[in-house]
Chains A and B, each alone.
Chain A
Amino acid sequence: MKLTDFPDSRGHFGPYGGIFVAETLMAALEELRIEYDRARNDPAFMAEFEYELKHYVGRPSPVYHACRLSDAYGGAQIYLKREDLNHTGAHKINNTIGQALLARRMGKKRVIAETGAGQHGVASATVAARYGMECIVYMGAEDVARQAPNVYRMKLLGATVVPVSSGSKTLKDALNEAMRDWVTNVESTFYILGTAAGPHPYPMLVRDFQCVIGRECLQQMPELAGRQPDAVIACVGGGSNAIGIFHPYIPHENVRLIGVEAGGDGIASGRHAAPLSAGSPGVLHGFRSYLMQDENGQIIETHSVSAGLDYPGVGPEHSWLKDAGRAEYVPINDDEALAAFHDLCRYEGIIPALESSHAVAQAKKLAPTLKKDQIILVNLSGRGDKDINTVAKLSGITL
């Protein structure tokens, strides 16, 4: 089997992925698997998905040659895939449109979602408004506090935001609560999972909906730069923007694929969210993958300046690509990400999301080691408007 043929029919990427959920959800996941299989082979469904991406999201998103940033970093040419220019300001909408169309096809009028930074919550609330569905978003109480503008956006869009106060009060706990809601309301409710993780078929279908990013790049790079990049860099929390840009490049063996995890205060500090760099395989949230865990198999609290990367697991396909040696995964610390955030603001007039700033920071490290005619493609997965309060606070400024 080729790397791109995974997952297998039961959702496994080698030892990773699978369906590790309580019995109550098994039938719902099977129903979703069957319906998604029909949908992706239905030209009418795919045509509507593409129509929405073009006319509602504003795709294709451009690829942009960041000349001044490239000069400043002193090496390879840096190109940015501008997912920040999508409607709602991030790549998340690609997936929520796909899943909302599936929900409608399955006759579900109530959708639920979990969110960390609030980007997936906003993207879910947006599509729920667009298709006339009830929307409940679960969000860790700590994230509700640090992402207040996104909480208000979701409310404006008609969604109900439920703060989750259990555990570490962040994304993983929001995911637990969304799963609990789904177990309870399984017949009426569609769970719009926000990243390429969770039980099969989610890692596969989220990847498929996000692959539009990489497919566009495959076409855009030769047009703009005359060839494909030498390296593709993307940040990895759950890993949906990364798998979306990586996956179409997997067969292009000369293209390095580099995933960037949240190094937080540094791997040595233990305060980070980098399971691929410093974790070990385990089972959480319905799938097997690398995890942040202690010697008793309890999940460890994570830390990142970026709420969207603050997650102790990672999508199973990334674990698989790591073990297969097809992709590399590296940590970027909070301070490095912040420096890159400011670089992009000042050199290019683009305020990036703190998540995406991790990818830019890795480009900053890699570029000087490459020649001037080499190319790095960075997935700029989201814009940073949501993060200005966080950045201001870290700079000692009150807005």
Chain B
Amino acid sequence: MSRIGPTFAALKAQNKKALIPFITAGDPGRGMTVPLMHALVEAGVDLIELGVPFSDPMADGPVIQRASERALANKVGLKDVLAMVAEFRKSNDATPVVLMGYANPVERMGYAQFAAAAKAAGVDGVLTVDIPPEESTGVADVFKAAGLDPIFLLSPTTPESRVAQVAQAAGGFVYYVSLKGVTGSASLDTDEVSRKVAMVRHHCGLPVGVGFGIRDAASAEAVARIADAVVVGSRIVNEIETAPEGEAVNRVKMLVQDLRRGVDAASR
């Protein structure tokens, strides 16, 4: 069983929304990821998205591209990422962890072998950005059989006719990308997002996370009013990139505490 469903259920019972941060594993250093994950939990996040570095992150903007390059310079591969999750699990058995990355590292390891290793390490869900439901035949089933939730994206260009198809393949939650473009793009139009999320809910019973364009407590609050989960990536990775040596953990903690206040303000 994945930790994702129970986490969302518990939040709903408390009338709370989820805050989901993204960091790239191995950025800024190999040894920094597990401490960062614990700091995120201490700052009040509900689920962690952990980026698996890839040499060609086609769907990412410059901030996350650079994080991926730093992690690769630290020689961090998929096996190392799984080891980091296992390390995190030694002292945290509650917070769901979703791996987010591209198909090829997983393909190279083998889908079944990866699913077993990920489950053993304590991973709860997997989002492979470049495997849409059409290409996930077999893959999503392998993940589900191993007890991993296959997370899929929905975008402003997704036609309504496709949402049900995506929902069918998905597990855990669906991730609505609130803007066209790569990660780290400009600000978002909450009215438009609100309409789209309502449409998604019509076809999909899973919790809906919304990401792209969330930078501060105010935008986090605005999105938390609409969605079940607020996903923040580039803003956090940017904080890691620009923090002075040794300050990354503290800076991220302060930023995430602020985002948490924003998300909770939506529930009051």
- Residues on A lying within 8 angstroms of B by beta carbon are 10, 18-28, 166-167, 172-173, 176, 179-180, 183-187, 281-286, 288, 291, 293, 295-299
Contacts and interface: CB of A to CB of B under 8 A. Distances in A.
Interface of B: 53-62, 65, 69, 72, 77-79, 102-109, 129-132, 134-135, 152-159, 162, 166, 177, 180-182, 185
Nearest to A280: B108
Given A184-B181, A295-B108, A299-B55, A166 B79 contact: no
B61 A180 contact: yes
Given A24-B153, A186-B180, A298-B72, 18 more contacts: A20-B132, A22-B59, A23-B154, A23-B157, A24-B156, A24-B180, A27-B157, A27-B159, A167-B69, A173-B56, A176-B58, A187-B180, A281-B107, A282-B107, A283-B102, A286-B130, A296-B77, A297-B77
Given A180-B182, A183-B59, A186-B180, A282 B157 contact: no
Prevailing SS type, chain A contact patch: mixed
A152 B107 CA distance: 40
Q: Specify which of A22, A173, A284, A288 lies most central, judged by the most chain B CB atoms within 10 Å of its CB.
A: A22
Given A27-B159, A186-B157, A291-B104, A20 B56 contact: no
Q: Specify which of B102, B131, B132 lies most central, judged by the most chain A CB atoms within 10 Å of its CB.
A: B132
A298 B77 CA distance: 8
A20 B61 contact: no
Contacts of B77: 295-298
Q: Specify which of A23, A184, A291 lies most central, judged by the most chain B CB atoms within 10 Å of its CB.
A: A23
A79 B102 CA distance: 44
Contacts of A293: 104, 108
A286 B57 CA distance: 12
Nearest to A26: B132
B255 to A, nearest CB: 25
A293 B106 CA distance: 13
Contacts of B152: 23
A20 B79 contact: no
17 contacts: A19-B132, A20-B103, A21-B58, A21-B132, A23-B154, A26-B134, A26-B157, A167-B56, A179-B58, A180-B182, A183-B180, A183-B181, A186-B180, A282-B107, A285-B56, A297-B54, A297-B109
A282 B69 CA distance: 20
A18 B103 CA distance: 13
A46 to B, nearest CB: 29
A37 B109 CA distance: 36
A282 B104 CA distance: 6
B56 A172 contact: yes
